[in-house]
Amino acid sequence: MRFATLVFLACCLLFDSPAIAQDRQTVIRDTSARVVKIFGAGGIQKLHSYCSGFLVSKQGHVVTVWSHVLDTDSLSIVLDDGRRFEAKVLGAEPQLDLAVLKVDPGIDGLELNLPCFDLKQAIDVTVGTRVMGFSNMFKVAVGDEPVSVLHGVIAARTRLSARRGAFNFPYQGPVYVVDAITNNPGAGGGVLITRSGRLIGMIGKEVRNKHSNTWINYAVPVTEIREPIEQIISGNYETQRRETDEETPGNYKPVDLGLVMVPDVIFRTPAFVDSIIADSLADKAGLMPEDLVLFVNDKLVQSVKMLATEVGALEKGDTVTMIVRRGEELVTIQMKVDIEQRN
């Protein structure tokens, strides 16, 4: 009798009962309805043009990773039921690898009432917690097709740091390392939940260990990014923005960082560095030809023109922080602006 009981318990650990399996399907269905497919910019150095996100308000606020995919005026979001909407970037925080988008309901003024996660219900979990990851990895869904679902276990909670062998990545805070292949092209911005459906984390982009050259599967805890998400949605998030439509004072001398950009020949030419002037600020700071400028002082740079505008707004004494893509790395560059005003 005791042996039969042990066999029964072992089988329960290996196979879900019909009731548990039904509950699991409900969790998967409800979570999938809160995950969106994001389509935008791509094709630059063979970068993919899609990623994932998850809804955090009934009005259509979407949380995702900040990336080149968002560098477009024609950003679109596809819901679980196949409906497609235009969207805009409300705000981004590169140091948290975070962006918040807002669905545009269109000229009809459609009142959205979308299924969404409650950020206040997000929890922290411990090592060994069984989890599920939802995302549009490898562009498995373009309409009402279901997104991918992966089962795994939290293997560790640690810090994502270049000193531990990762690429020079802007986010260096706590992450969940997942024993599942969650971080694939297009998966960035997906969601990690417990098997009961509790919100845990946002799946990050693809990074790998410098020494072992192995890919890291991780998610950023939502509890680490909840506050900035809420601030961006409410409009209270403080960024280092500068107004660029004001008249430039006549005695202002434009900043010359020593950057020579690629020719601006199309409507939105990516901000690739063509060459660096020797002994310039850019040269001393470590910028290199073929760097792609992604952010200037936390503001997404969408083109060569926008880079010129952001640099033109700098004043003497300012510190400018640039995040550039160099091959497969994201590199942070800081420069102290040293210019003189005209008399």
Q: What CATH number is associated with residue 128?
A: 2.40.10.10
Within-domain flag for 287: yes
Q: How far is CA 61 from CA 1, 90, 104, 339, in A?
A: 56, 9, 10, 41
Within-domain flag for 272: yes
Whether residue 139 is found in the same domain as residue 216: yes
Whether residue 215 is found in the same domain as residue 133: yes
**3-state class of 7 per DSSP?**
helix
134/141 Cα distance (integer angstroms):
12
Please count the structural domains in the chain.
Answer: 3
| CB atoms inside a 10 Å sphere around CB 106 | 9
Within-domain flag for 285: yes
Whether residue 208 is found in the same domain as residue 130: yes
Q: Which of 44, 76, 104 is the last residue of a domain?
A: 104
What distance, in Å, lies between the first and last C-alpha atoms of the chain? 97
Whether residue 54 is found in the same domain as residue 100: yes
Within-domain flag for 245: no
Whether residue 39 is found in the same domain as residue 95: yes
283/289 Cα distance (integer angstroms):
10
| CATH at 266 | 2.30.42.10
Structural domain range at position 230: 119-234
Within-domain flag for 342: no
Q: One digit per residue, pLDDT tens: the chain, 343 residues?
A: 444 444 444 454 455 666 677 788 999 999 999 999 999 987 655 568 899 999 999 999 999 998 888 888 889 999 999 999 999 999 988 788 899 999 988 755 567 889 999 999 999 999 999 999 999 999 999 999 999 999 999 999 988 753 333 345 667 789 999 999 898 999 999 999 999 999 999 999 887 665 556 788 999 999 999 999 999 999 888 754 434 333 444 444 556 788 888 776 555 778 889 889 998 888 999 999 989 998 888 788 878 888 888 887 777 778 888 999 888 788 999 888 875 433 3
Q: How far is CA 84 from CA 103, 137, 260, in A?
A: 10, 18, 39
Whether residue 270 is found in the same domain as residue 202: no
pLDDT at residue 175, rounded to an integer? 93
Pairing of strands 191-194, 61-64: unpaired
pLDDT at residue 165, rounded to an integer? 34
Whether residue 265 is found in the same domain as residue 228: no
186/194 Cα distance (integer angstroms):
21
The answer to whether residues 78 and 39 touch, using CB atoms and an 8 Å cutoff, is yes
C-alpha triplet 223, 225, 226: angle, nearest 5°:
65
Within-domain flag for 6: no
Within-domain flag for 8: no
C-alpha triplet 258, 261, 266: angle, nearest 5°:
155
Indicate the pTM of the whole model: 0.67
Whether residue 284 is found in the same domain as residue 214: no
Supply 50's token pair: 């899609």
Whether residue 138 is found in the same domain as residue 226: yes
The answer to whether residues 34 and 116 touch, using CB atoms and an 8 Å cutoff, is yes
| CB atoms inside a 10 Å sphere around CB 129 | 17
Q: Which of 42, 75, 104 is the last residue of a domain?
A: 104
The residue with tokens 């300012």 is 318
Within-domain flag for 254: no
Whether residue 143 is found in the same domain as residue 226: yes
Q: Which of 69, 104, 139 is the last residue of a domain?
A: 104
Whether residue 141 is found in the same domain as residue 211: yes
Whether residue 137 is found in the same domain as residue 222: yes
